[in-house]
Chains A and B, each alone.
Chain A
Amino acid sequence: MASTMLWASRAASYLRISVFHRGFSTVLKDLKYADSHEWVKVSGNAATIGITDHAQDHLGDVVYVELPEVGAAVKQGDSFGAVESVKATSDVNSPVSGKVIEVNEELSNSPALVNSSPYENGWIIKVEMNDSGDLKNLMDSEEYSKFCEEEDSKH
Chain B
Amino acid sequence: MMTLAPNLCFRTIPTKCITVKQQKDPPHQLNSVIPTKPKPCECFDLHKELIPYGKAWSWQKQIVKQKQALIQEHEDCPDSLIILQHNPVYTMGTGSSEKFLNFDMKEAPFDVYRTERGGEVTFHGPGQLVMYPIINLRNHKMDLHWYLRKLEELVIRVLQSSFSIKASRIEGLTGVWFGNQKLAAIGVRVSKWITYHGLALNVTTDLTPFSWIVPCGLQDRQVGSIRGLLQEFQSSTRCSEAVKPISDDDELIDISYKSLIKEFSEVFNLEIHQKTFDFVEDH
Given the complex, which residues of B lie within 8 Å of A79, measured CB to CB?
191
* Contact residues in A for B175 (Cβ distance below 8 Å): 87
Shortest Cβ gap from A83 to chain B (Å): 9
Assess whether B144 is in contact with A85, with CB atoms less than 8 Å apart. yes
Taking A58-B23, A87-B119 as contacts, is the C-beta distance between A36 and B192 under 8 angstroms?
yes
Please determine whether A155 and B93 come into contact, CB atoms closer than 8 angstroms.
no
Chain B residue total in the interface (Cβ 8 A): 30
A64 to B189, CA, bound (A): 13
Whether the pair B174, A86 counts as a contact (CB closer than 8 A) is yes
In Å, the complex CA distance between A61 and B208 comes to: 32
Binds A, one of B11-19, B24-32, B99-107: B24-32
- Cβ-based interface call for B258 (8 A): no
Taking the complex as formed, is A12 at the interface, i.e. its CB lies under 8 A from any CB of chain B?
Answer: no
Determine the residue in chain A with the shortest Cβ distance to B189: A89
Interface band, chain A: 20 to 34
| Complex-state Cα separation, A35 to B122, whole angstroms | 34
Say whether B26 contacts A153, CB under 8 Å: yes
Q: How near does chain A come to B17, taking the closest CB pair, in angstroms?
A: 19
Within 8 A of B (CB), among A48-88: 58-60, 63-64, 66, 79, 82, 84-88
Total A-B Cβ pairs within 8 A: 78
Cβ–Cβ < 8 Å partners of A36 in chain B:
192
Scan A11-38; emit 1 where CB is below 8 A from any B CB, else 0. 0000000000000100000000000100
A88 engages B191 (CB within 8 Å): no
- A136 and B107 CA atoms in complex are apart in Å by 53
Query: For the complex, is A121 an interface residue (Cβ under 8 Å from B)?
Result: no
Find chain A residues with CB under 8 A from B117 CB: 87, 89
CA distance A133 to B183 in the complex (A): 51
Asked whether A152 lies within 8 Å of B116 as measured between CB atoms, the reply is no
**Chain B positions within 8 Å of A110 at CB level:** none
A87 touches B186 (CB 8 A): yes
Which A104-155 residues sit within 8 Å CB-CB of chain B? 111, 151-155
Chain A CB within 8 A of B143 CB: yes
Q: Is A45 engaged at the interface, CB distance under 8 Å to the other chain? A: no
Question: Quick one: given A84-B95, A86-B118, A86-B174, are A91 and B191 in contact (CB under 8 Å)?
Answer: yes
Determine if B147 is an interface residue (Cβ-Cβ < 8 Å): yes
Smallest beta-carbon distance A20→chain B, Å: 13
Q: Is A90 an interface residue (CB 8 A)?
A: yes
Which residues of chain B have C-beta atoms less than 8 A from A24's C-beta?
24
Partner among B31, B95, B187, B190 whose Cβ is within 8 Å of the Cβ of A90: B190
The 5 A-B pairs with the shortest beta carbon distances in the complex, nearest first, are A64-B95, A89-B118, A87-B118, A87-B174, A90-B190
